[in-house]
Structure 1
Amino acid sequence: MRNASLPYWLSAPALTFYALCVAAPLAATFLLSLNGYQDGIGVLPVLGLGNYAQILSDPYFHLIFGRTFVLALAVTALCILLGAPEAYILYRMEAPWRGLFLTIILGPLLIAVVVRTLGWALLFGSHGAISQTLQMLELADRPISLMYTMTGMVIALVHVLVPFVVIAVWASLQRLDRNIELAGESLGASQLTILRRLVLPQVIPAIVSGSIIVFSLAATAFATPSIIGGRRLKVVATLVYDEFLTTLNWPLGAAIAVLMLIANIALILTYSRLMERRRVERQKAVSVAFQEKVA
């Protein structure tokens, strides 16, 4: 009996910490989102779903939620396109170059988010290095500014989030048997075929996990969109900030945060299940093809 209850006692400290630091604030936020609000009075002790109805029926909120998810999807796609090849190149490197380039890749994570974003703001300005370089190369006939644009936000977020894909894929490649690639080469397969048929199927779970992390961080990012996007291009995180600290409508801000969390979790679970189902179907197809070939 004591042995049966031992795992629960061992996990009790972690569960208690989770309840106090995560579950309790989420529950408090949800309860706050059910309250009403009136200008000049503040939060009203009246429970209801009025805040959720306002968000779901107002096109202004639809626009901000849509912009947020488009931003997160664009950042995730670019991080996969850049991070997966970077991880494979890093995997094929030898020491000491591997350690040097790994440090370079992880460099954005070692800089404070505000400092890093302000650095991008200096580059993106109409008199920044990017604009001056484009004019010097005669690719632009006037100053170009990426501030307060979706492009600027995507670039700044990709810069800091691509290491999460690189690390996830690189860790998966570390467990890859190099003999598989050598066997493909000995059978006359091209390098592209080896990457597509042998390497890629084994690192897809790592790409999925890395992309989920990137999507979550991009969808909930605050500092970078608030500095690069400004007041012109609001996302959900900056909208919640404005509702809490500018208009002081805390119930509405809490409702926006809850809906963002629900939408984020729903999209992540759907994406994860679709990729898992695709992986299982591919494994079944390979198994059937192998059995037919043996027969």
Structure 2
Amino acid sequence: MNATLSAQPPRSQRWLMLALLLPGLLALGITFLLPLGWLGKISFSDSTLGDSGPLTLAHYLSVIADPFYWKVALTTIKLSALVALLAVLLAYPIALFLARTESRWRGLLVALAIAPLLTSSVVRTYGWMVMLSDQGLVNSGLSWLGVISAPLPISNNFFAATVALTEILMPYAIMAMLSGLGKLNRDYEDAAALLGASPARVLWRVILPLSLPGIVTAALLVFVLSISAFVTPRLIGGGRVFTLATEIFGEATVTLNWPLAATLSVLLLLLFGAVIALYQRVLNHLERDA
């Protein structure tokens, strides 16, 4: 009991810690909690502009009853999950190499791996639009090689949005996994190698299980960024890829139906919360197994 009491900071120190937290908590409340509450209020508004009128559940009921929004939600989840999977699969070998290399150029290689983040996602999206168009680099190259006789339908669709988002978000996956791989203890790998395990078996049975928390974190980060992405699906999707983000933008700026846009935003936030809760459960399970 004495040890417990001695471990607690003195009252003056606790007040100091609280005083240091107050500016951040105040800023968080003003910039996040208040707008979030205003968004929730608008979603229950009966007025088109959400500034007056009685509270109603009509917008939530209309979204739930409309098959179109169910399709949009499923498309959003499908696109985000596929992008997260592809980004993790492509980024893991790069992150593993960067974490294990002893080259003097390691710093430069890491900088090159995350250098695409220095370029706007709009610019990179336009680059993919040029590459995947009917007369773009991919179709022109395949046609020149005689592989195809007509352009492949790889632009203005779900495939194009998946490819562009995967490339755009890969640096985030590399950074997340690089942080986790840097904390792995090499002694486990050396012990497995001394016991006769091949490099492939060491990778599959030792490195991969130990790096699962970093992989899950990278997948969550890419999924969250994908599920809220607007520019890339809007541009490279050619108006054929409907996600919750694109629908929110359309309702807020084109049809000016703010309550419906707020309703979709709240549902998107609930989806965020469900994904984060699932991530926390998976992470706790991995920690118990470890």
Alignment TM-score, normalising by the size of structure 1 = 0.89
Partner of 1:117: 125
- Identify if the C-alpha distance between structure 1 residues 48 and 18 changes in structure 2 by more than 3 Å, giving closer, same or farther: same
Cα distance between partner residues in 1 of 2:284 and 2:146: 48
Cα distance between partner residues in 2 of 1:266 and 1:125: 36
1:241 and 2:241 are equivalent in the alignment = no
Give the letter aligned to residue 25 of structure 2.
L
Displacement, 1:36? Answer: 1.7
* Stretch of structure 1 that moved more, 52-61 or 168-177: 168-177
- What are the equivalent positions in structure 2 for 1:141-290 lying under 5 Å apart? 141-280=149-288, 282-283=289-290
Partner of 1:293: none
Cα distance between partner residues in 1 of 2:251 and 2:187: 57
Displacement, 1:211? Answer: 1.0
Which stretches of structure 1, 4 residues or longer, exceed 6 Å deviation after superposition?
A: none
1:28 and 2:28 are equivalent in the alignment = no
Cα distance between partner residues in 1 of 2:50 and 2:27: 32
Deviations 1:1-58 (CA, angstroms, capped at 9, x unpaired): 43332222110011011111111111111111111245xx886512111111111110
Work out which of the residue numbers 136, 141, 144 in structure 1 matches 2:144.
136
Secondary structure of the corresponding residue to residue 193 of structure 1: helix
Deviations 1:78-126 (CA, angstroms, capped at 9, x unpaired): 1111111211122222333423332222122110121111111111110
Secondary structure of the corresponding residue to residue 53 of structure 2: strand
Partner of 1:18: 28
1:3 and 2:4 are equivalent in the alignment = no
Displacement, 1:144? Answer: 2.2
Cα distance between partner residues in 1 of 2:275 and 2:81: 11
Displacement, 1:145? Answer: 3.9
* Stretch of structure 1 that moved more, 134-143 or 253-262: 134-143
Cα distance between partner residues in 2 of 1:272 and 1:215: 14
* Stretch of structure 1 that moved more, 124-133 or 3-12: 3-12
Structural RMSD (CA): 1.7
> Is the CA contact (8 Å cut-off) linking 2:42 and 2:50 kept in structure 1?
no
* Stretch of structure 1 that moved more, 233-242 or 198-207: 198-207
Sequence identity percentage:
32
Structure 2 unaligned residues grouped into runs of 5+:
1-10
Give the letter aligned to residue 2 of structure 1.
S
Cα distance between partner residues in 2 of 1:32 and 1:86: 45
Cα distance between partner residues in 2 of 1:44 and 1:171: 49
* Stretch of structure 1 that moved more, 2-11 or 238-247: 2-11
Partner of 1:288: none
- Identify if the C-alpha distance between structure 1 residues 9 and 167 changes in structure 2 by more than 3 Å, giving closer, same or farther: same
> Is the CA contact (8 Å cut-off) linking 1:43 and 1:249 kept in structure 2?
no
Secondary structure of the corresponding residue to residue 76 of structure 2: helix
Give the letter aligned to residue 220 of structure 2.
I
Secondary structure of the corresponding residue to residue 36 of structure 1: coil
Give the letter aligned to residue 169 of structure 1.
M
> Is the CA contact (8 Å cut-off) linking 1:208 and 1:272 kept in structure 2?
no
Work out which of the residue numbers 50, 53, 60 in structure 2 matches 1:52.
60
* Stretch of structure 1 that moved more, 82-91 or 255-264: 82-91
Displacement, 1:193? Answer: 1.6
